Structure 1
Amino acid sequence: MLYGIASAATALLLAGLLTGLLRVPALRLGIVDRRRSRPVPLLGGAAVVLATCLVAVAGDWTRLAPLGTGVMRLLTAGGCVAALGLAADVWRIKTRLPAVGTAVAAACVVPYDETGVPGGVLAVGWITAVALAFRGLDHVDGGAGAVGAVTAFGVGACAAVEVLDGPAALLSALAAALAGFLLRGWPSAPVGLGACGSLFTGFMLAAAAVFTRAGYGLAPSAAVLFALFAVPVADAVLVVVSRRLARRPLGRRGPDHLGHRLRRLGLTPQGTAVLLGAGAFGGGLAGVSVHAGWTGAAAAAWVAGVLAVVVGGLLRVPVYGPRGPRRRPGRALPGPQRGGERRTGPQRGAERRMGPQPGAEQRAGRRPERPAAGAIRPPRRAAPQVGAPLRVRNR
């Protein structure tokens, strides 16, 4: 008990310290994300990964909190996923490669002897989907960190119910590291998890939940897993449905996530992160209750009903913006192909009434005509001074 408290405090402080230290190099190296026209450094996830791995490995090495062979394999696979996410943050690789790497890592940690081959294949797909959903949650300051910390407490409680000390110790270190990240990654001091931290968090939580539910029936396990990861699932479903309805490509980023829509409704960044964390707490409470046997699977059904109402309501929030009016052929007058401006009908009518204006030839992309050599230039008249009497010339 004492070691658990000490390890959690160490992970919290270490993650907060590393997040503050890695923020400046991320800005200097350009490892940033643009959110509302401001750069947000993305090395906060690396701080979470380092703090979690160091505390977990130290506990296993000192034998104060042995993780076991399966949990160490899970931590190693999570480190590989985090490295792949860091490469995505630095070199901006496509989502396809991290998705394939996450699926391969998930296939290496699923306990097939307890889930069976069909259940193992479903578990691999679930782990990959949750990891990508957590990456999508990192679109608002503090959103992915708050949801990840609350979900880690929920999955850790399920592991504690099953008396699995290794996964419980690992998840407590992860929850504390995410809480330490929130000390720096809150909207008042924005730092992003990036693909490194979000993929690592989603992978570790989903794989630990599958490891905890191994040996149970497929339908009860699906209810528990859905309730535990209600917020990431709702965000992914909302994005997929809205882009399908708007006929937009799924791989392109857009302001259509949960946080974007809540901001459109008038919530502040702090309120959005708190509301996402509260939703994760409600779903996690229902999942722990179903897993521990305190309630039936009806609690997960209630969570699904509430999420359906929320997703249906948020789909009505306009996020893509109105499309510009289509130009009819023949309305705009042809202009120069390069370096010029296109003149509209009113502008050309003004030029007909008033004559060519000074600088019109420059705007049209043509050089002004110079007077021939020896031509008499008209004298320049001085501009009348303000307040001077006008001189009337007798004719």
Structure 2
Amino acid sequence: MNIYLYVYLGSLLLTLMMTPAVIWIARRLDIVDIPGVRHMHTHPVSHIGGVSFFLSTIILSTAALWFSNFAGIAGEPALRQLRILLLSAGFMFITGLIDDVKTNGLRARIKFIAQIAAAVMVCAVGIRIKSVVVTDSVALNFGWFSWPLTLLWIVGVTNAVNLSDGLDGLAGGICAIACGVVAVFAASTGNVAVVVLMLALLGSVTGFLYFNFNPAKIFMGDCGSMFLGFTIASSSVLCFSKSSALVGLALPIAALGVPIFDTFFSMLRRFLERRSIFSADRSHFHHKLIDLGLTQRQVVIAIYGVTLLTSGLGMLMIVTPGIHVPIIFFCILILLLLIFHVVGSVRLEQIKAAMQKRYMIIHREHEERKNFEEAALYFRRAATFDQWWQAVSTAAGKMEFWTVDLPLVNRDGTSRALNWRYNGSGPDPGPEGLIQVHVPVRDRRSGSSLYLRIELYKNGSLESAGRRVALFTRLIDEHDINNLRIERQDSKHFGVDRAPLYS
């Protein structure tokens, strides 16, 4: 028991000593976070705080596990797995540090690939979610599916912690609670290696919070958040893999419920809005609380309270009979969902409406693409100017145009215009329902520009109108009337009687 206390206090004190040095170095090297639209701070702040608690965690956990009698207690297989886990976590730390130090950071795709690579390293040494014992009579064996399931968990938690680092002390406090929860479960299952690692991480994060709580003197940065999320996620799997009890998986989900739910709904929202799931916004759970009028400190303390509540309920699963574990876990998930709904971060009716809108947009895009491909067939068959104009008219009808006009100059210098009008049924859209576009078409005789004057239905969506215009102009661009002369020369071999360009 004393060694556990030494590990915790040692990492805490070491972080307290190292963090001021990291702040000084970061300022000297100008590695600071500049205030911006998405940031809550008002002045530049150092953002490589993860360096201090990464070093503290590695030093204390290594010293305790490899240079004491804990090595014999933990066992060589567990230590081997822990070595790979720490090596992978170090890789995550370095990836995050590069992102923090680079002026424009790393691309989200690069960081995502690095997270998968690190998670694969962990899975390769047997740290996987192989099976789950739900009750005494119900067990789920995942077989090969344990690989993607574990990758999803580790990468998902890593990103969840990273995205939760939006307010001073928020991610650090949540992770400190999660470390304590995983340490308690590891102790209950006799997993000494995980207990030591989690206590070392808990001590270092606690020490870091002294500098990170509002108003923060330093941020943990991606190097800190990615290291924290990856280490907690991998350690929970390592601990869970020794028992396979549902509580081993449910406990970290309960402790990290806020960032997990927040990340899931944020990515779902971005997906439904057809944005990159890695794009930034101000719709996170903590942003919603701030919009309700709470201060940064109040928001962070409130989220600490929610995390302590769900973690406390999760602890009940350790001491309750098997059948009650899934019931308690389900209640925790419902509680989190209700909290997110009350705050306004999740609205089921909005999600339903967004899903319907996305389906309609995809269906509309499919129809527009289909009409474009059908219209392209007419352009490919056009061998004369008259046939080309007929193809234009056909395309206009398929793409929901209202009018198309093409002013021409005859050979004798007089002017005329070709006109196409929509002749279908339906109400007149009026000026507010139409968009006017001029498409240049080069006159192959004079070299001057002719202009197709187009009016098209807005059809309730400027995006749809813009897409239809883009598809139509692509047809005009790919089937230029200047190419008709060349085709006319080629067509003589086939006995085609070509009409003049203009009469």
TM-score scaled by length of structure 1: 0.75
C-alpha contact (below 8 Å) 1:185/1:191 kept by paired residues: yes
1:316/1:277 CA distance change after superposition, 3 Å = closer
Aligned to 2:109: 96
Aligned to 2:289: 262
Structure 2: distance between partners of 1:193 and 1:71: 24
Structure 2: distance between partners of 1:292 and 1:207: 24
Pairing partner for 1:191 from 218, 223, 228: 218
Structure 2: distance between partners of 1:264 and 1:50: 37
Choose between structure 1 and 2 for higher RCO, CA contacts under 8 A separated by at least 6 residues.
1
| Deviates most, 27-36 or 275-284 | 27-36
Aligned to 2:82: 71
Aligned to 1:297: 326
Pairing partner for 2:121 from 102, 108, 118: 108
C-alpha contact (below 8 Å) 1:156/1:167 kept by paired residues: yes
Structure 1: distance between partners of 2:285 and 2:127: 35
1:54/1:135 CA distance change after superposition, 3 Å = same
Structure 2: distance between partners of 1:126 and 1:276: 22
Aligned to 1:387: none
* Per-residue deviation, 1:121: 2.2
Give the 5 Å matches for 1:119-158. 119-158=146-185
C-alpha contact (below 8 Å) 1:12/1:180 kept by paired residues: yes
Give the 5 Å matches for 1:344-355. none
C-alpha contact (below 8 Å) 2:15/2:207 kept by paired residues: yes
| Deviates most, 106-115 or 72-81 | 106-115
C-alpha contact (below 8 Å) 1:153/1:172 kept by paired residues: yes
1:32/1:314 CA distance change after superposition, 3 Å = farther
Structure 2: distance between partners of 1:63 and 1:293: 35
* Per-residue deviation, 1:4: 1.5
* Per-residue deviation, 1:284: 2.2
CA root-mean-square deviation: 2.6
Aligned to 1:166: 193
Structure 2: distance between partners of 1:43 and 1:158: 31
1:245/1:99 CA distance change after superposition, 3 Å = closer
Pairing partner for 1:51 from 27, 52, 56: 56
Structure 2: distance between partners of 1:158 and 1:317: 31
Aligned to 1:275: 302
Structure 1: distance between partners of 2:117 and 2:20: 32
1:162/1:221 CA distance change after superposition, 3 Å = closer
Aligned to 1:345: none
**Is the counterpart of residue 16 in structure 1 residue 16 in structure 2?**
yes
What amino acid sits opposite 2:168 in the alignment?
Answer: D
Structure 2: distance between partners of 1:193 and 1:17: 16
* Per-residue deviation, 1:48: 0.9
Aligned to 1:312: 341
* Per-residue deviation, 1:201: 0.6
| Deviates most, 100-109 or 179-188 | 100-109
1:211/1:265 CA distance change after superposition, 3 Å = same
Number of matched pairs: 321
- In terms of fraction of residues, the more strand-rich structure is 2
- Mark the runs of 5 or more structure 1 residues left unpaired by the alignment: 319-328, 330-395
Structure 1: distance between partners of 2:155 and 2:312: 23
Structure 2: distance between partners of 1:190 and 1:113: 38
Aligned to 1:229: 256
C-alpha contact (below 8 Å) 2:61/2:196 kept by paired residues: yes
What amino acid sits opposite 1:95 in the alignment?
Answer: A
* Per-residue deviation, 1:71: 1.5
Classify the secondary structure of the residue corresponding to 2:45.
Answer: strand
TM-score scaled by length of structure 2: 0.59
Structure 1: distance between partners of 2:288 and 2:56: 32
Aligned to 2:91: 80
Output one character per residue of 1:286-330: Cα deviation in whole Å (capped at 9) or x when no partner.
333324546522111111112212222334699xxxxxxxxxx9x
* Per-residue deviation, 1:76: 1.5
C-alpha contact (below 8 Å) 1:152/1:174 kept by paired residues: yes
